[in-house]
Amino acid sequence: MLVAAAFCPCPPLLVPEVAAGAAPELDALRAACVDAVGVLAAARPDRLVVLGPADEAGQGPHPQGALGSFRGFGVDLDVPLGAAETVPGRGLPPSLAVGAWLLSRTDWADAPVEALGVARPLARERCAATGREIAAAAPRVALLVMGDGSACRTVKAPGYFDERAEAFDATAAHALGAADLAALTALDEERATGLQASGRACWQVAAGAAEGADLRGRLLREEAPYGVGYFVATWS
């Protein structure tokens, strides 16, 4: 059963070493993410699952100790998932590497950790079914859900400006903050893809996991500093 969830954005810029001189711009966002992960620890789960959008190579399960690396972003930094030692195998996709970094910032040692790379175009029905399977896997399950909102808030955004982006992000932020499962499930897949909203599928997996759990939500942070919607929320 799902007992808690934390929702965080997943730009590699969240890692100060990657952001370099721009790091202070995201200090408040980082602090909110650390607070959100603290809610997961307080729930004392038996199992923590980190969800993050992934391309084909990064999709599927990743075990505790899987390595997240930021070398592709010009930084000599590797972070294992929830463990001091790495395990052999494929590396984590960037979204899950950021999740592993967040756990390392909180010295996570409360429960076994694993991760799941979620295909961005995964259909909402499959998202919900995946969430139910995760929630049923242990008596007390927590989720760390990585993913961004639209990438089209300004002309300098990665996806350029789209007038639909602000409304999409407002709907997503409200749904995350209110733990509104129906509103999350109703997020339009095609619109999310068009707006480059990487978090849509992961949020819908979380909505499936939370069915029947009667969790309350709280929005800790909402901003779009680079034309990308970043939200931090908790369910407990």
pTM of the model: 0.97
Q: How far apart are CA 120 and CA 132, in angstroms?
A: 18
Domain ranges of the chain: 2-235
What pLDDT, on a 0 to 100 scale, did the predictor assign at position 22? 82
What pLDDT, on a 0 to 100 scale, did the predictor assign at position 110? 67
Is-contact 107 41, C-beta < 8 A?
no
Q: Nearest 5 degrees, angle CA 212-CA 215-CA 220?
A: 150
Exposure string of 197-235, with b = 16+ CB inside 10 Å and e = fewer, is: bbbbbbbbbbbbbbeebebebebbbbbbebbbbbbbbbb
Q: How far apart are CA 138 and CA 142, in angstroms?
A: 10
Q: How far apart are CA 96 and CA 171, in angstroms?
A: 24
Is 3.20.20.140 the CATH number for 2-235? Answer: no
Helices (H), 136-194: 165-178, 181-185, 189-194
Q: Which residue has the tokens 């040692």?
A: 109
pLDDT in tens, the chain (236 residues): 999 999 999 999 999 999 998 889 999 999 999 999 999 999 999 999 999 999 999 999 999 999 999 999 999 999 999 877 788 888 999 999 999 999 998 877 668 999 999 999 999 999 999 999 999 999 999 999 999 999 999 999 999 999 999 999 999 999 999 999 999 999 999 999 999 999 999 999 999 999 999 999 999 999 999 999 999 999 99
- The kind and range of the H/E element at 203 are helix 200-209
What pLDDT, on a 0 to 100 scale, did the predictor assign at position 235? 98
What pLDDT, on a 0 to 100 scale, did the predictor assign at position 116? 98
